[in-house]
Amino acid sequence: MTDRQAALNCYKSCYIAHRGLFDNDKDAPENTISAFKRAVDAGYGIELDVQLSRDKRVVVAHDYTLKRICGEDKFINDLSFPELRSYKIMNSCESIPLLTDVLQIIDGKVPLIVEIKAEKDYKEVCLLTAEILSAYSGAYCVESFSPYVIRWFKRNYPSVIRGQLADDFVHKKYFKSKIQNWVLTNMIFNAVNKPDFIAYNHHFKNRKCLFFWKKILGCSMAAWTIKSQAELDNAAGFFDIIIFDSFIPKASTGRYYIE
């Protein structure tokens, strides 16, 4: 086992709360301070999403617009952070937080997975996120659907653990280009980027590319997003890392505690 794979053990020793331990029907919606506090208090690892505001602040939000979470059809990167703070998420008292504020909440108490959203200039969001994370002393890694993000970290911050996010884009016909769907589904860029882990839609765990890359790279496998105990039980035999939401896993061993 390599040092980089050994560093992933803390992610295997607990379940990872997708966008925090959130409840969108109450006052702890996804990717908010309340949801992250709940995850830390429960001993779960945390997965979150980052992107840039107009004034180049690294904010924590999944969608590129405010439409679903705030009811406003506006792009996050068209708004400054002070403007973003004026919108409340899912009718709660919470607003989109800065990554720096979230890191203060987590404070190394549980492992962190940072998904980098890179629809536009991936280099800028990578650089600004990396600079913030380099000052953080807790366990963290980065992941992205964009192989360019993974390549950027390999070249510029090689010590940072990196993971390739993927889905069965061929099955879903996600992109207009059949070639693009095939390349991203089968993670062809892994040959160059050599990620430390692969995070794949658990519904498609039987794709041959997963077995191929696991054998070739010897990398860990993360399942997203597990939404029931039945799905967790089905995924546990193949995936090393479990990212979940919408339920509380039964196994108490999926919680993380600092000795």
Query: Where residue 3 falls among pLDDT bands split at 50, 70, 90?
Result: confident
Mean pLDDT of the 204-225 span:
97
pLDDT score at 259: 43
Angle between helix axes 99-106 and 33-42 (nearest 10 degrees) is 20
Nearest alpha-carbon partner for 197 in 159, 170, 223: 223
Range in 22-31, 226-235, 243-252 with the lowest mean pLDDT: 243-252
Tell how strand 58-60 and strand 140-144 pair up: unpaired
Residue 35 contacts residue 90 (beta carbons within 8 Å): no
- Residue 39 burial by CB count (10 A; 0-12/13-18/19+): exposed, middle or buried? buried
**Integer angstrom CA distances of residue 93 from 61, 147, 245:** 16, 36, 21
- What CA dihedral angle connects 154, 118, 179 and 171, to 10 degrees? 110
CA distance 101 to 106: 9
Residue 116 contacts residue 143 (beta carbons within 8 Å): yes
Q: Which two tokens stand for residue 74?
A: 């506006």
Under CATH, which architecture does the 3-249 domain have?
A: Alpha-Beta Barrel (3.20)
pLDDT tens, position by position, 64-78? 999 999 999 999 999
pLDDT tens, position by position, 44-94? 999 999 999 999 999 999 999 999 999 999 999 999 999 999 999 998 999
pLDDT beyond 80 at 256? no
pLDDT beyond 80 at 119? no
Mean pLDDT of the 183-200 span:
98
**What pTM was estimated for this model as a whole?**
0.96
What residue segments make up the domains of the chain, in order of their start?
3-249
Kindly report the average pLDDT of the chain as a whole number: 95
